[in-house]
């Protein structure tokens, strides 16, 4: 049975990113122009993974599980997987981080935001443990998760991403990059078709 159109859409950005990311702004604009009835939320996530998930789950506490969806990029894809595991909602994962505790262990220290170099934050050692504690197991509804994975991703291993989502529809791209630079023209349409916003 085809799921109902999405009425609520959450977008989760990646590490060092923000709601000002190219993909987040493209989706926000598309929602405003073509799907104004959809409730759109793209929060700025704190560096602490525990606090990030608490903020997200608190913000969607009253959202309808059957008609909400989440899109996440990179580390946001990991968080989106957590949300999908907890709620059973539809999720689209864009080059999702699948082993963030391992991958970010070497990034403990001070960082700047991609979109505002004047904004600094500290990624603490305990955040690696928080990521490890959040790792969801097998998804209850893998068919409700759509992964967009680029073989040309220069940050994450496409083979690990592909292996993480058995039973889920996957768009495996030859080439491209971690940022999915051709997102608007090559992938946004399929993302929205999966979410099916009102």
Name all domains of the chain by residue range, CATH numbers in brackets. Answer: 8-195 (3.40.50.1820)
Q: What whole-number percentage of the chain has pLDDT above 70?
A: 100
pLDDT of residue 93: 98
Q: Is the pLDDT of residue 114 over 80?
A: no
Stretch 18-28: mean pLDDT: 95
Mean pLDDT of 31-49: 97
The predicted structure's pLDDT at residue 57 = 98
Q: Is the pLDDT of residue 118 over 80?
A: no
Nearest to 179 by CA among 108, 105, 114: 114
Least confident of 59-68, 108-117, 156-165: 108-117
Q: Give the whole-angstrom CA distance, residue 91 versus residue 41.
A: 14
For position 191, what pLDDT does the model report? 97
Residue 122's pLDDT band (cuts 50, 70, 90)? confident
156 phi/psi in degrees, rounded to 5: -115, 155
Which of 53, 28, 59, 22 lies closest to 197 in space, CA to CA?
A: 28
Measure the CA angle with vertex 75, ends 123 and 141; round to 5°. 140
Mean pLDDT of the region 94-119: 89
Determine what percent of the chain is predicted with pLDDT higher than 90. 89
Sequence-distant (6+) residues with CB within 8 A of 196 are: 3, 5, 6
Global confidence as pTM: 0.96
Torsions phi, psi for 70 (to 5 deg): -135, 140
Question: In the predicted model, what is the mean pLDDT of residues 152-178?
Answer: 95
Q: Provide the pLDDT confidence category of residue 103 given band limits of 50, 70 and 90.
A: very high
What's the whole-number average pLDDT of the chain? 95
Tell whether the model's pLDDT for residue 1 goes beyond 80: no
> Is residue 146 predicted with pLDDT exceeding 90?
yes
Q: Are 108 and 123 in contact (CB under 8 A)?
A: yes
């Amino acid at each position: 049975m085809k799921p109902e159109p999405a009425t609520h859409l959450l977008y989760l950005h990646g590490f060092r990113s923000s709601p000002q990311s190219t993909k987040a702004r493209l989706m926000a604009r598309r929602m405003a122009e073509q799907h104004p009835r959809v409730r759109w939320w793209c929060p700025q996530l704190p560096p602490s993974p525990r606090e990030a998930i608490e903020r997200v789950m608190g913000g969607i506490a009253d959202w309808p599980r059957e008609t909400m969806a989440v899109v996440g990029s990179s580390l946001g894809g990991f968080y989106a997987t957590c949300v999908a595991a907890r709620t059973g909602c539809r999720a689209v994962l864009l080059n999702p981080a699948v082993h963030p505790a391992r991958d970010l262990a070497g990034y403990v220290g001070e960082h700047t935001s991609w979109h505002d170099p004047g904004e600094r934050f500290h990624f603490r050692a305990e955040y690696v443990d928080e990521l490890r504690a959040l790792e969801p197991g097998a998804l209850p509804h893998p068919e409700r998760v759509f992964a967009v994975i680029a073989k040309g991703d220069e940050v994450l291993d496409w083979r690990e991403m592909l292996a993480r989502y058995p039973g889920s529809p996957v768009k495996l791209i030859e080439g491209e990059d971690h940022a999915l630079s051709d997102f608007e023209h090559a992938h946004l349409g399929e993302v929205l078709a999966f979410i099916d916003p009102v």
